[in-house]
Amino acid sequence: MKRTLKLLISILTFIVLTIASIIFIFEIRNSSVPKKFEEVRSKNINAQVDIYTNKQGIPHIIATNDEDMFFAMGYFHARERLWSICHSKIIAEGRAAEFYGENFFQLDLYMRTLDLRKIANELYENANDETKNVLTAYTNGINSFIENNINRLTFEFGASDFLPEKWHPSDCFLLQRYFAFLLNPNFLNDIIFAEIAQKIGVEKTMELVPNYPNNSPHILDEKLNPFIESPTPELDSLRKSQAINFSQNIFK
């Protein structure tokens, strides 16, 4: 009798956990995967705007004016990548420890030393009116998505226990500066090689990072590469003429 009762409890527990897991997975899926068709009304656009994706998943925006187009772009970016841009923003501002814990303190200290927020604010203040109008429309699109979907955010927001903040046009400059910094390895390389040069001298340091000789083999056929220095004017003239013909053949 006791064995039967234990078996029944185990089966019921398994069923409950399975159902709970399925519900949890579907909730994550429903919150993370955008709807195939959605109609949104906003006071920030002047006319109807259509957004569709082709079979390759590439979005296309059809709008009658630039303001509506950039609004739709911001809305779509937020729909597809809200967590990514919010996460990048708090990293760029040096606020990671505020959301992720004290283990990120050193990262915040480093990012606040760079002070990308100050740079972003100055870039926005010095931007012309056309740029500000574009960024304002784009930002309105992001904020519109946040307002319309504050109760239907992706799983990452729930797991991190924070809500997306309202965006300001200067945040666009902030992310632009942040990604420019990430894609610039010379920032650290220059410091490293400068320290090496102080210890062993400039000439020996250059031997560690030699330039590729101009007269060495290249990947492209020299006849199709107009950027390789020619040993004679005649060959240089031939290369230029063939390079022009090559370009013309491409764009015919």
Q: What is the pLDDT of residue 223?
A: 55
Q: What is the pLDDT of residue 71?
A: 94
Q: What is the pLDDT of residue 6?
A: 66
Please give the average pLDDT of every successive group of 10 residues along the chain, which has 252 residues.
66 70 60 66 85 84 92 93 93 92 93 95 96 96 91 78 90 95 81 87 80 66 51 48 34 30
CATH 1.10.3720.10 correct for 34-185: no
- H helices of the chain, in order, are 2-32, 66-93, 96-100, 105-114, 116-126, 129-148, 155-160, 170-182, 186-200, 202-208, 233-251
